[in-house]
């Protein structure tokens, strides 16, 4: 259920927003570097020999990007959802 919820949230964001690379003051596109930060969620897997294998989930470090509504209709939908949440 958690994976389905995440899928719906991501699909909802991508359906109303364009997410693009940031642009510097000269108009040059900024390509973010791939950097990972260690996560706090740990998974423990049991191996065949009953030894526990632990892995730490990492997540992307913050990076610059541009997030804009895809259209006027998308903006209206976002604003409506924001008012409904209040």
Is-contact 38 57, C-beta < 8 A?
no
pLDDT category of residue 4 using cuts at 50, 70 and 90:
very high
Give whole-number Cα distances, 3 to 8, 9, 10, 80, in Å: 9, 10, 11, 26
The predicted structure's pLDDT at residue 37: 79
pLDDT category at 73 given cuts 50, 70, 90 is very high
Record the pTM: 0.64
d(CA 43, CA 41): 7
Instruction: Name 61's Cβ contacts closer than 8 Å, sequence gap at least 6.
Output: 35, 36, 37
List pLDDT tens digits, range 32-67. Answer: 988 877 765 555 555 555 555 555 667 788 899 999
CA distance 45 to 26: 49
Instruction: Show the tokens assigned to 17.
Output: 């927003």
> Residue 77 pLDDT more than 70?
yes
pLDDT higher than threshold 90 for residue 76: yes
């Amino acid at each position: 259920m958690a994976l389905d919820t995440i899928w719906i949230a991501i699909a909802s964001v991508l359906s109303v927003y364009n997410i693009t690379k940031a642009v510097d003051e000269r108009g040059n596109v900024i390509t973010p570097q791939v950097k990972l930060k260690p996560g706090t969620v740990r998974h423990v897997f049991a191996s065949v020999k009953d030894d526990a294998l632990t892995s730490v989930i990492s997540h992307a470090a913050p990076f610059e990007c541009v997030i804009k509504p895809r259209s006027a209709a998308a903006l209206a939908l976002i604003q409506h959802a924001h008012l409904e949440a209040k």
